Amino acid sequence: MSLTVFILTGRIIDHPVKAILIEIKEIGDRSFDQEVSRELVKRTDEFGLIGKSLDEMKQQLKQSNEKLEHSLKENVDSQKQLILQNQILTERETQMYHSLKYAHSLMEAIPDTVFVISRDGVFLDCIGDLDHLFFKRERFIGKNITDVMPQSIAKKGRELIDQVFLTGENQKIEYEWTSARITEYHELRIVKWFDDKAIAIARNITETHNYIKKIEEISYHDHITGLHNRRYFDQASKELNQPENYPISVIFADLNGLKMVNDSFGHEYGDYMLKRFAEILADSGKKGELISRVGGDEFAIILRRTERGETDRYIRELKEKCAKETINGIELSVSFGYHMIEESGMAIQKAVKLAEDEMYQNKLYEASSRRSKTIDIILNTLHEKNPREEQHSQRVAEICETMAKEMGLPDSDVNKIKAAGLLHDIGKIGIQEEVLNKPGILTDDEYQEVKKHSEIGYRILNTSPNMSEIAEIILCHHERWDGKGYPKGRSKTDIPLFARIITIADAYDAMTSDRSYRKALPDSYAKSELIKGSGKQFDPDLVEFFVNHMKGLN
């Protein structure tokens, strides 16, 4: 009986224990998806209680496991985010490093010096071009701007720093720095950096400053005389027109005969005239004066606090000094006019105009005799350079005079064509002496230069109003009847009559006079050549008259 009970009991117990062991194993394996056996849970004995406890534990563990898995997943996601953010941060740090390295290299390369300055004006750091600094880095780092910089620069620097922190706006200053060796010019720009620091960028602008100064010097000065020019005069004269400078003498001067000298002797002589007059003006000894070349041959002078009598004496002394100067025998002649500003209300431009008007009136009174004298000097200079030209001009003048008389022209015309004949080659004063005196045939270039003499002669003579008609004759004396002459290519009666007569007289004398390359040709040959050129180079009617009526010329 006992064996039977044991067996029965074993059968009864074996099943729930096995179920419990299975559940415990699943819990140990963290397998919470399978529920506890319903048969075990429904039992009313101790095994049922154990089954219920295991079921509750399994549910709790399942919930805890789900929470744990969720937490783990969140942690994994967070970790992934942290890794990603770390990668981004690393990349940004790398970029920042390269940016800082680039910025540092850039600052080292640019021709500027960058200072970090505290709000109190203490130098905290320095980077960039340090070569141009007048002291070593260790001498100013940690020190106040007032302890390092000259007082005037330091004061202005402190004002700019205060202004930067007050307004937040960038500030700029240019200053001059002089050492025992050299003077330099710098530009300083200051910008706010955080609440307690500023960055000051210093640049050496000496080269730019000197270049601008040179440009201003050029723009305000005449390059020939070295005096101030019209631009400077217009600006400075307005500033001088103040009551404390009254009475003001506004003087206008004109250099007489400059164009004639340029045309006759070349621009180097004209430039010398300008320079010499400028030197006389500069040496005039009048303090506080403004002297400018305001035109080609015009000068303007302003004298402050100068009475009329003193102005007259000043001009008289200038004229006396000029009269002692000569350029190729031509007196340095200057016409003056002036106007006084004695009270407020008159613009400086008006005073200049009135002074200029007076100068032109004085110029008219002096002009006639001066021009005549200048022309004589030019002619004498030409003849000194080439005596053959003097003889040729005199013979042409005589031939023209004889022909004009034979033609029955009035005495005034006879005198006029004689003067034109005498002056017809005056333009050769502007031709190189070695070309004029060349003992042989001219090259093409030399011939082109010689051809300019008719225009040069015209410009010389045309400066005198009473010589304008003769100047026109001189201009045309190498024109041809067929229009193939120079310089204008005029033809037939478009060429002045007296110029057509001079053309024949000039050619005839050239043929019947000795030349460096041949002997004089006979009268008969010269006249036959004139006939050949009739209707081409020469007026046919004048050639016929010359051949038939001009006898005994040789």
Q: What is the pLDDT of residue 413?
A: 86
Domain at 110-210: CATH code: 3.30.450.20
Torsions phi, psi for 192 (to 5 deg): -75, 140
What contacts 302, CB < 8 A, 6 or more positions away?
237, 240, 248, 249, 250, 251, 289, 290, 348
pTM reported for the whole predicted model: 0.51
Cα–Cα distance for residue pair 174/153, rounded to 1 Å: 9
The total number of residues shown for the chain amounts to: 554
Per-residue pLDDT of the chain (554 residues; tens, 9 = 90+): 444 433 444 444 456 667 667 767 666 665 656 676 677 667 777 767 776 777 777 777 777 777 777 777 877 777 888 888 888 888 887 887 777 676 666 656 666 788 889 999 999 888 766 666 666 777 788 889 888 888 888 888 889 899 999 888 999 988 888 776 788 888 889 999 888 889 888 888 888 888 887 787 778 899 999 999 999 999 999 999 999 999 999 999 999 888 878 887 888 989 999 999 999 999 886 766 899 999 999 999 999 999 999 999 999 999 999 988 887 777 888 999 999 998 877 899 999 999 998 888 777 656 555 556 666 777 777 777 777 888 888 899 899 999 999 999 888 888 889 888 988 988 888 888 888 878 778 899 999 999 999 999 898 888 776 678 889 999 999 999 999 999 999 999 999 999 999 999 999 999 998 776 678 889 999 999 999 999 999 999 999 999 998 876 76
Per DSSP (E only), the strands in 89-144 are: 112-118, 123-128
Dmax of the chain from CA atoms? 198
Cα–Cα distance for residue pair 450/441, rounded to 1 Å: 12
3-state secondary structure 9-23: HHHHHHHHHHHHHHH
Cα–Cα distance for residue pair 473/496, rounded to 1 Å: 6
Q: What is the pLDDT of residue 13?
A: 47
Cα–Cα distance for residue pair 502/421, rounded to 1 Å: 6
Q: What is the pLDDT of residue 416?
A: 85
Torsion of CA 388, 391, 397, 399, to 10 degrees: -100
Q: What is the pLDDT of residue 12?
A: 44
Residue 340: strand, helix, or coil: strand
Give domain 221-367's CATH superfamily: Reverse transcriptase/Diguanylate cyclase domain (3.30.70.270)
Contact yes or no for 192/183 (Cβ under 8 A): no
Q: What is the pLDDT of residue 448?
A: 92
Domain at 386-549: CATH code: 1.10.3210.10
